[in-house]
Amino acid sequence: MPSNRVQGINPRQRVSLVTPSFQQARFLEECLSSVRAQSGVDVEHLVVDGGSTDGSKAIIESRADSLAWWCSEADHGQSDALNKGLSHATGEIFGWLNSDDRLLPGALEEVAEAFAADPDLQVFEGVRMVVDGDVSPASSNDPSDIRSLFIEPRINQQSTFYRTSLVRRLGGLDPALHFVMDLELWYRFMFLTGGTGLRVVDRPLAEFRIHPESKTGVARERFRHEQAGVLHGLCLAVGETTLADILRIGYHWPAGIRPVPMAEGQGDRVRDMVVHFLLKWDRGVHHRVEFERMKALLAWLGIELFERDPLHGERIADVKSRIGLGSWDLYRVRRKLKHLFR
């Protein structure tokens, strides 16, 4: 199937864009049109449909002349679909656009020009516009804040593009993951490069649509569980078995998550990532499992170092003051009394 390629463009600027799709017919036409409308750039659009039965295949067939390759067949989820598209990609730049999202005009031209102008560029990120009733920009990464790039990166997937050779070096997407495959790819990039080769621009490139059927809308908890699984693997890689055990308290993730390669001496980095994750999601202590995780974290011998940390210290002190040495039942009684007499 022919690709949508502009004559005269340096092939090194080619953008291979994969659209994974399943049962998204009502959004698919707009997504495909947003890619077809990109001008001044060599676009190789690959659409991987998971065997939809809602009319998606007919929509894809009607746009086949603008696609480099497409299929509509059963797969093993989004990561599998993306890897399938990656296997057919010939461009030097790689990104993906889910079928319920869309590119903004001129986005890929800017991406291609950035990679063509800088051979050291590995990851290019623009602004992601979030469509959720209103339209607003998502927060972007700060390339100078290396700590945040590890502990709480902004995964603006729709507006983030990788050098294809890097994605292949990183091993593509983990097929065991169905929700945080983009975060896991980011971790692999960070542990390989330390953030070298990242560029962030203040230019809207894509729209991320939130709707009742989207993953973000219906499966927020599963994102957390999968992230806990990836972090669990990082803990084991650096010999941090206690934190690995804490992540096992109430979190459940798919079997077979691949290990993230890293150089020696990354233990402090991993501990920082895990402590940040646990405090972010569990310090409110609304449920017993959160109580158990927080109590185990406070009992961890390494927590003293983080108590002196400007980022985590105040959060840890707050949790310690509320949990203390008591039980879950005692904590609940104290919390109820506090609400009654405040």
What single string gives the DSSP state of each residue in 235-299? Answer: HHHTT-HHHHHHHTTT----TTPPPPP--SS-HHHHHHHHHHHHHHHHTT--SHHHHHHHHHHHH
In this structure, the answer to whether residues 199 and 224 fall within a common structural domain is no
- The two structure tokens encoding residue 35: 């890619």
Residues 86 and 186 in one domain: yes
pLDDT 10s digits, 134-146: 999 999 999 999 9
Domains of the chain: total: 2
Confidence (pLDDT) at 90 = 97
Same domain, 22 and 116: yes
pLDDT for 336 equals 78
DSSP secondary structure letter of residue 92: S
> CA distances (Å), 320 to each of 216, 315, 316, in order?
32, 9, 6
Are residues 162 and 198 part of one domain? yes
Domain that holds residue 37: 11-217
Instruction: Specify if 149 maps to a domain.
Output: yes
Domain co-membership, 303 together with 212: no
Q: Which of 217, 246, 262 is the last residue of a domain?
A: 217
The pTM (predicted TM-score) of the whole model is 0.93
Are 182 and 289 in a shared domain?
no
Give the pLDDT of residue 4.
46
Q: 324 falls in which pLDDT band (50, 70, 90)?
A: confident
Do 230 and 188 share a domain, yes or no? no
Q: Are residues 182 and 236 in the same domain?
A: no
Q: What is the pLDDT of residues 60-94, one digit of tens each?
A: 999 999 999 999 999 999 999 999 999 999 999 99
